[in-house]
Amino acid sequence: MSEPRPDPLRMLLDAVLDDANDDLDAMAGEAYTSQFHFARQVRQGSGESPVALRRRVTLERAAWQLQRGASVTETAFANGYGSVEGFSRAFARAYGHPPTALPPADRSGHWLPAPNGIHFHSPTALYVDAGDSRTAGSGPAGDVVEIMSRHDVADIGVLIDAVAQLGDDEYTRRRLPGSRPRSWDGPDESLSEVMWHLVVSKQPWLATIAGEQMPDLTPVREIGALRDRHADVSARWLATVRDIDRRDAWSDRVVDALCVPPESFLLGQIVAHELTFSAHRRLLVRWMLRDAGVDVDVPALDPDPIVWHRRHTGGGTP
C-alpha cells in the first residue's frame, strides 16, 4: 500500500488527545502554533473546542474502562483527574448518573452526544461516525458496492493504458497456460484475452437486465477499440448498479433466457459475481504486466481501493 498522506485533522486531534497535553497551551505547543490559531483550526475541523473535545473523549474512555472492570478510583486518576470526587461530578454531568451506576458494555455504549462523530473506540483507535454518508458532501464513502464498482471500472481503464505501452508480441504472448477463471469465457492465458474479458464481461449481464439481445463478443485486440468499448460498458454498468441501489432492488430476480437451460439470478448476485471475477482478473493482469517487464509498483498501478478512494475524494485518511 502506498504511504498515506498526513491527515491535518488527525494531527490536530493527536495534539488534543495526547495524555501529556492537559491544557490548551500544551495542545497548541505540540502543533507548533498559537492557542488562538490551534483552537480555531480544531473548531473548524470538528465543530467542537479543543477543551470540550478532550473532556468528552476522555470521559468516553473512562466509561469504556469502567465497563471493562476498572474501579472508579483507578479510572479517575488514569484519566487525569485530581480527585475521585471531581471525576464523579464530571461523569455525572455528562452521563446523567454517577460512574458507579454505569450499565455494563453489553447493555449500553460509552459514547456521548457529539457534533462531529468523533468518539473513543478502543485504546488504539478513534471512531468517526459519518452519519448519513450519502449526504456527507464527498459521495457515498460508506457505500461499499459504490466504491467497489467505481474502483473496478476505473482500474480497468488504468490497465488499458498500461497494456497500450506493450508491443503486440508481449500483449498476445501466452503467459499462463490453462488459466480459465470462468469456464464459459474461454482461456485467460494472455494479456489480450484477460483484458478483453475484463472489458466485455459485464455486457451479457447488462443485456439480461435490460432484456436485450446478446451482444457481439467477438474478441478485439486493438487498444483504441478496447478503450471505447470499456467507456460504453462501464458507463452503463455504473448506471445500472446505481439504479438497482436507488430502487433497493438487490433481491429482484431476472431470468436469463440466454442460458441453456434458462437460469434465474438475483441482481445482487450478478453484481457480486462481476466484482469478484473482475478483481481476480485485474490482479492477473498485473502479474502478466510484471512478467512483461512493466513496473507495476508505481503509484498509478496501485490496485488498492483505499489508495484509489483517497486519491479521488481528497480524504478518508485515518
pLDDT tens-digit map of 22-54: 788 888 888 888 889 888 888 888 888 889 988
Choices 3.40.50.1950, 3.40.50.2300, 3.40.50.1970, 1.20.120.450: CATH for 144-313: 1.20.120.450
Q: Is the pLDDT of residue 313 over 80?
A: no
Give residue limits of the domains in the chain: 8-129, 144-313
pLDDT tens-digit map of 164-212: 999 999 999 999 999 998 888 889 999 999 999 999 999 999 988 887 8
Q: Is the pLDDT of residue 6 over 70?
A: no
Please give the pLDDT value at position 84.
Answer: 94
Buried b (16+ CB within 10 A) or exposed e, 120-140: bbeeeebebeeeeeeeeeeeb
CA-wise closest residue to 159 among 151, 148, 168? 151
Crossing angle of the two packed helices 144-163 and 305-313, in degrees rounded to 10: 100
Cell matching residue 171:
500483449
Mean pLDDT of 225-233: 94
Q: Is the pLDDT of residue 133 over 50?
A: no
Q: Is the pLDDT of residue 315 over 60?
A: no
Q: Is the pLDDT of residue 139 over 60?
A: no
> For residue 23, which phi and psi values (nearest 5 degrees)?
-150, 170
Residue 98 near residue 85, CB atoms below 8 Å: no
Query: With bands split at pLDDT 50, 70 and 90, how would you rate the model's confidence at 260?
Result: low
What's this model's pTM, rounded to 2 decimal places?
Answer: 0.65
Longest dimension (CA), the chain: 79
- Distance CA(314)–CA(305), nearest Å, equals 14
For the residues of the chain, what is the DSSP string, one character each?
Answer: -PPPPP-HHHHHHHHHH-TT--SHHHHHHHTTS-HHHHHHHHHHHHSS-HHHHHHHHHHHHHHHHHHTT--HHHHHHHTT-S-HHHHHHHHHHHHSS-GGGPPPTTT---PPP-SS-EEEEETTEEEE--SSGGGSSS--TT-HHHHHHHHHHHHHHHHHHHHTTS-HHHHH---STT--SSTTT----SHHHHHHHHHHTTHHHHHHHHTPPPPP------HHHHHHHHHHHHHHHHHHHHHHHHTT-TT-EEEETTSSS-EEEEHHHHHHHHHHHHHHHHHHHHHHHHHTT--TTSGGG---HHHHHHHHHS----
Q: What is the CATH number of domain 8-129?
A: 1.10.10.60
- Distance CA(254)–CA(204), nearest Å, equals 13
Ramachandran category for residue 214: left, alpha or beta (phi over 0 → left; psi -120 to 50 → alpha) = beta
Mean pLDDT of 96-114: 82
Query: With bands split at pLDDT 50, 70 and 90, how would you rate the model's confidence at 1?
Result: very low
Query: With bands split at pLDDT 50, 70 and 90, how would you rate the model's confidence at 141?
Result: very low
Residue 299 near residue 212, CB atoms below 8 Å: no
Say what percent of the chain tops pLDDT 90. Answer: 50
Mean pLDDT of 219-230: 91
- Distance CA(72)–CA(285), nearest Å, equals 58
CA-wise closest residue to 118 among 64, 56, 178? 56
